[in-house]
A and B are shown apart, each in its own frame.
Chain A
């Protein structure tokens, strides 16, 4: 609105003075001029095509403003759909394709099915067609898919730093062969990894025929199979043992970690579980018994019914003592001299073996000296076990040179061209060989490897060839029992990598097509139509009937006597003469997986340390070194404890053996043999990408050719330095609580529902009330009985739990071996990120399923009753393992506290998590009593793990290559949202959808209930021993319903009235009452009884007679 400005009236002088005008019109003072003056702008300027100027601007301003609010101006960006040019047979977009392949590792392989999405493999499963594995897989197999998409893998072929193209490489390889042909291969040497591939064996034979003077050497730093020399001496044949644990009632393990699935043990674990699984009293009566003597704490040791801590160097003496008792023969007794073991232990063990002759087995660790194996074979032969619990199969004798032979040849100057095929000898060769100098001294080195690692770095001026991953390669391999399995590529080599077969073929000068080579090998073994046979081979993922033949063997006493006389002498150990044991790490293997983030972050199954290795010492040694933690350090973070805000604060030690030294953090490991120091191999890499480099310390620095598995003469020097360790479970004690419920088999036989007398809910009225107790499990799952709760429960009438399936899970703690395959399978399936060492120390690791490991030694006199209350680390504990994932509680405490209802229950019993709704309050994780919820504190996917705290200023962006491993069926979570196990909801939904589509197309669309066994969660599918069972609890015949109907089924923390859908089957132990370390109750149970019934506990009273009210179950 214009303001009226009152100007003063013109003065007399202005009115009478000269008048100025600007135009004639003004002077004329025409009416037109007056009108023009009144208008602010000239004619036509204020109107545009009939639109008033002001009006026009108003409209423009308005639409501009509104456009800025997100309408036409802010349309979402255009997305494109890019179909193929030509159609591809068999590809259905949105559905994955599965192909059979195998993961080769040293002398065996694990048959796999690879799930591929849009041409790239995202998940590996075991191949169910191979019945010894039954579809199970291992930790390393599950993690190997990540290696394919490692941005730090070798991507170029180079020579002296200059990139080579394909033609150059082919020419170079052909030249190697051509150059050495005249001399018959003199001067040419190969150093390769062990392989079970029949095609490679064939090629090597051709190589040797064409280049008879070339050296073919094979080297692996660790060994999975017993030394063949022992079998040759004992039986006169090249055979190896395959144990049939399902037939064994009594198993004695001499430092043998046979349950470790990756070293060919998947079959053993599965068979062993058959002897332990209990579904009835009859099973319990037939349950097997495991005696383990070991120096480190392995998973096999954690399953033992009787465990003896003994140094690995004393295993020979123990084997001899046992053999002397079993056979009664005197020829072994000299070797047993010096053994410091309770003789009754050996006597009763031997008596138990004799009582079960033909149904028992003695297994010696592959790393032990030949003599131990000879004795073990002798015991097995004497007891008639051969043919029932152990079979010997004929294997081909390897005539490859050892690395020592090669080193001698190089040292003698007779090698001018060295082709290193895989492996990493600069990192893991025996330290006394000084391989680095040897390799440098060779004139031409061709290094064929997957990474640019320590070995590549030494010969950077030589030829570096990038290898292909096994998921990009054609090849073949043999499993533990000799069955031939294919290695099929899922994707063309991403970076033009070569396969080993191709490199060899080019050097030899045969047709370098790996597919054709494998085709030739396989079709030569099959009859009939070769095309059809090969297709069948690729389809099945195995060649039926190709296993190693079982042969009859008989033990040759005379031959072995000489070998036994040659045995190493007994040495007693002390603080100044420590035994140093080198173990193949569960996750890093021999170091090849150092740059695999999933494996680095996966906590070691027993120590629970991730991202590095530690020097493991026994509590006794810790006392003697005066570094024993005060205040039960590793249990809880008490004020006086050796921890900083709950993080393990480890001393740094220097370990010296024969003049060589390593330096690393110490972790006091309960259950170690007193003077054995355990070092895990595979860490301390110096050239391994940003994940693997400088993770841990290098134990290979102490390892010589004479003592690859253990060496004596170690001393320890404690330094002043301290480091924090990323220990994901510092709290090792159950403190007498009923988390893992255990009993001996005799208690179970007498009282199959003993779990109802254990735990809080045995002392209280049932949480589901009498009404609930009377219901069937199916009714409980849908009606959700209220019990004595003051709150109403959701049920069918209020609109919940009315799905046609109700999902549930049962985890059998009796068979779970703690291998961690489920942890990595879940990580692969659900796009779970890694968080890095720094965040892992803060406890922020993202694994949806964790494996809890508890030690118990029976001593828990509660502090309230004047006892010590768990203030010392147990020297000789029992280990209890428990996989814990989201329980999908029917009355979930997390759901009621979410302010935005991001976590809600679905009709089929799942606790659903809607990531897009979550605002990151974290109250749900706070309220979860099982602590299974994981929060994305940072954007683990988009940000670099070493610059998380820079926030938006840090580098961001996920490399395209790493994105390829993600499973497209599962959302990738951003910073600020909560996540947790979903029972693999994507698999459940896809399973239900596929079933409904199938029945609709078959014409009976009403049968929408999915048959049992169709849907497997990732953890269930990976588990080698089928400890995890998942299915529909509305179906009384489903496997999961049957498992939950067993007497030993219980819920974790049931008294909290959460009604978890995942329940556990209690652990049963089968100790021998005559053994000196017999305990009437498992230690964890004894702790529970002592804590909860301190007055009623008596040493002599067997289980079951302890006072306690039986008042129903939770």
Chain B
């Protein structure tokens, strides 16, 4: 029998194996880069029904986070303000603005303003805001510089790895209680050094849980 395959076919199995390995590598790298939260979530800045600007209200006017997100110190869920909270000022300030028509309608009828949720974690993750803001973690650590955002943008990946990075090493990220809602402030590690940060942690017995029950139930 004459040779069915040319001699160059001898290299084929090796080529296939190398090709598959390279393919697996590329797919893995591609998935790791493109399909993990740090790519898919960071930068998400959906269009909201009302063009509310944090940069204006917080950065320029100086509203405290808690004026609107009033329950973060008590509850795990960081609430959005009711339309009544908006109308506290906007029944006088820009009270005829067409951009605020949805808010006024909501206040009159009770129909909610359909805000698009920016920061979403999966249903099997139970994150609690109150414990974090009361124990030295400022809003800016996870949500970024909201006070400079005209449109709320997803700043950090909020993946499990992101949470664990801080839970394993909180020293660099904690702030004094007075600085929690000051998004321009710096962590203790930067203002007073790591020794002071570690003292902050030990004074408050801050040992963030690193096991499953911290967030998964």
- Taking a contact as CB atoms closer than 8 A, the residue among A70, A95, A986 that contacts B217 in the complex is A986
8 Å CB contact of A70 from B34, B73, B124, B134? B34
The contact of B204 among A802, A994, A1006, by CB within 8 Å, is: A1006
Q: A906-B209, A906-B212, A971-B123 are in contact. Are A86 and B76 (CB under 8 A)?
A: no
Give CA–CA (A905, B214) in the complex, Å. Answer: 11
Q: A81-B117, A84-B82 are in contact. Are A915 and B216 (CB under 8 A)?
A: yes
- Contact residues in B for A95 (Cβ distance below 8 Å): 71, 74-76
Q: List B contacts of A994 (CB < 8 A).
A: 130
Query: Judging by beta carbons under 8 Å apart, are A81 and B115 in contact?
Result: yes
* A659: B residues at CB distance < 8 A: none
- Contacts known (A87-B84, A95-B74, A904-B212); A1005 close to B110, Cβ less than 8 A: no
Number of interface residues of A (CB under 8 A): 52
CB–CB B124/A915 < 8 A: yes
Distance, CA A71 to CA B217, complexed state (A): 30
Contact B216 A85 (CB under 8 A): no
Question: Are the CB atoms of B84 and A86 closer together than 8 Å?
Answer: yes
Residue in chain A with minimal CB distance to B112: A82
User: Which of A66, A804, A985, A1008 makes the CB contact (< 8 A) with B213?
Assistant: A985
List the 5 closest A-B pairs by CB distance, nearest first.
Answer: A94-B77, A94-B75, A82-B112, A906-B211, A85-B110
- Closest approach, in angstroms, between the C-beta of B151 and any C-beta of chain A? 15
Interface status of A773 (Cβ within 8 A of chain B):
no
Q: Which of B122, B131, B204, B210 contacts A993 (CB 8 A)?
A: B131
Give chain B nearest CB distance to A430 CB in angstroms: 50
Alpha-carbon distance A488/B188, docked complex (angstroms): 50
CB distance from A987 to the nearest CB of B (A): 10
Is B135 a contact partner of A1005 (Cβ separation < 8 A)?
yes
Interface string of B174-217 (1 = CB under 8 A from A): 00010000000000000000000000000111010111111011
A997–B217 contact, CB under 8 A? no
With the chains together, A75 CA to B37 CA distance in Å? 11
Interface residue? B120 (CB, 8 A):
yes
Question: Are B213's CB and A83's CB within 8 A?
Answer: no
Contacting pair B84 A910 (CB below 8 A): no
A304 to B40 CA separation, bound complex (whole angstroms):
65
Q: Which residues of B contact A93 (CB under 8 A)?
A: 71, 75, 77, 79
Are B34 and A71 in contact, with the CB atoms below 8 A?
Answer: yes
In angstroms, Cα B117 to Cα A988, docked, is 28
Sample of 19 further A-B pairs with CB below 8 A, known A986-B126, A997-B74: A69-B34, A70-B35, A79-B120, A80-B115, A80-B116, A82-B115, A83-B113, A85-B84, A87-B84, A92-B74, A94-B79, A971-B123, A985-B213, A993-B76, A993-B130, A997-B73, A997-B130, A1000-B134, A1006-B205
Interface residues of B in 124-171 (CB under 8 A from A): 124, 126, 128, 130-131, 134-135
Q: Are B211 and A83 interface neighbours, CB within 8 A?
A: no
Query: Does residue A11 face the partner (Cβ distance < 8 Å to B)?
Result: no
Interface residues of B in 44-59 (CB under 8 A from A): 44, 46
Within 8 A of A (CB), among B82-132: 82-85, 106-117, 120, 122-124, 126, 128, 130-131
Contacts A80-B115, A81-B80, A997-B73 given; indicate if A86 touches B34 (C-beta within 8 A). Answer: no
B82 adjacent to A87 (CB under 8 Å): yes
Instruction: Confirm or deny: B81 has a beta carbon within 8 angstroms of a beta carbon on chain A.
Output: yes
Complex interface: chain A residues within 8 A of B210 (CB): 907
959-990 of chain A: CB within 8 A of chain B: 969-971, 982, 985-986, 988-990
For A916, give its contact among B71, B107, B124, B135 (CB under 8 Å): B124
How far in angstroms is the closest Cβ of chain A from B171?
16
Q: Is A491 an interface residue (CB 8 A)?
A: no
Contacts of B73 in A (CB 8 A): 997, 1001
Query: Which A residue sits closest to B44, measured CB to CB?
Result: A75
Contact size range, B:
35 or more
**Cα of A94 to Cα of B79 in the assembled complex, Å:** 9
The residue in chain B whose Cβ has the minimal distance to the Cβ of A902 is: B212
Is A912 located at the chain interface by the 8 A CB criterion?
Answer: yes
**List of A residues within 8 angstroms of B124 by Cβ:** 914-916, 971
Q: What are some 24 contacts across the A-B interface (CB < 8 A)?
A: A75-B44, A76-B40, A78-B117, A79-B116, A80-B114, A80-B117, A81-B80, A82-B112, A82-B115, A83-B81, A83-B82, A84-B82, A85-B108, A86-B83, A92-B75, A95-B71, A904-B211, A904-B212, A907-B210, A910-B213, A993-B76, A1000-B135, A1000-B177, A1005-B204
Q: Is A871 an interface residue (CB 8 A)?
A: no
Chain A residues in 8 Å Cβ range of B114 = 80, 82
* Known contacts A79-B120, A80-B117, A86-B82: A989-B109 contact under CB 8 Å: no
Cα separation A960 to B207 with both chains bound (whole Å): 40
The count of A-to-B residue pairs whose CB atoms sit within 8 angstroms is 161
Q: Which residues of A are found within 8 Å of B108, using beta-carbon distances?
A: 85
CA distance A653 to B126 in the complex (A): 53
- List chain A residues, Cβ under 8 A from B106: 85
Chain B residues positioned under 8 Å from A83 (CB to CB): 79-83, 112-113, 115
A982 to B116, CA, bound (A): 34
A1001 to B73, CA, bound (A): 9
Contact A804 B205 (CB under 8 A): yes
Contact with B along A58-82 (1 / 0, CB 8 A): 0000000010011100011011111
A357 at the interface (CB under 8 A from B): no
CB <8 Å contact, A912 and B205: no
Measured between beta carbons, the chain B residues less than 8 angstroms from A803 are: 207, 209
Residue of B nearest to A72 (CB): B40
Query: B73 to chain A: closest CB distance in Å?
Result: 7
User: Are the CB atoms of B212 and A69 closer together than 8 Å?
Assistant: no
B143, chain A: closest CB distance, angstroms: 15
B30 CB-CB contact with A under 8 Å: yes
Q: CB within 8 Å of B: which of A629-660?
A: none
Report whether A85 and B83 are in contact in the complex, using a CB–CB cutoff of 8 Å.
yes
Q: Is the CB–CB distance between A94 and B212 below 8 Å?
A: no
A79 cross-chain contacts in B, Cβ below 8 A:
116-117, 120
Residue in B113, B116, B211 whose CB lies within 8 Å of A907: B211
Q: How far is the CB of A957 from chain B (nearest CB, A)?
A: 17
CA distance A994 to B80 in the complex (A): 21
Residues of B within 8 Å of A232, CB to CB, are: none
A1016 proximal to B (CB < 8 A): no
Nearest CB in chain B: distance from A355 CB, A: 54
Q: Is A996 close to B, CB under 8 A?
A: yes
Q: A939 to B35, alpha carbons, bound, how many Å?
A: 28
Q: Which residues of B contact A71 (CB under 8 A)?
A: 34-35, 39-40
Closest to A983 in B: B213
Collect the chain B residues with CB atoms within 8 Å of residue A986's CB: 126, 217
Which residues from A are CB-within-8-Å of B117? 78-81
Q: How far is the CA of A85 from the CA of B84 in the complex (A)?
A: 6
Do B205 and A971 touch across chains, with their CB atoms under 8 A apart? no
Q: Are A84 and B110 in contact (CB under 8 A)?
A: yes
**A994-1027 residues at the B interface, CB under 8 angstroms:** 994, 996-997, 1000-1001, 1005-1006, 1008
| A1001 contacts across to B, CB distance below 8 A | 73, 134
The closest CB in chain A to the CB of B79 belongs to A93
CB pair B217 A970 closer than 8 Å: yes
B173 to nearest A CB, angstroms? Answer: 17
Q: Chain B residues with Cβ under 8 A from A915's Cβ? A: 124, 216
Query: A85–B107 contact, CB under 8 A?
Result: yes
> Within the assembled complex, what's the spacing in Å between the Cα atoms of A76 and B118?
11
CA distance A802 to B135 in the complex (A): 19
Q: Are B71 and A78 in contact (CB under 8 A)?
A: no
| Residue from A82, A94, A913, A970 in contact with B71 in the complex, judged by beta carbons closer than 8 Å | A94
CA distance A1030 to B112 in the complex (A): 42
B81: chain A residues at CB < 8 Å are 83
Are A997 and B131 in contact, with the CB atoms below 8 A?
A: yes
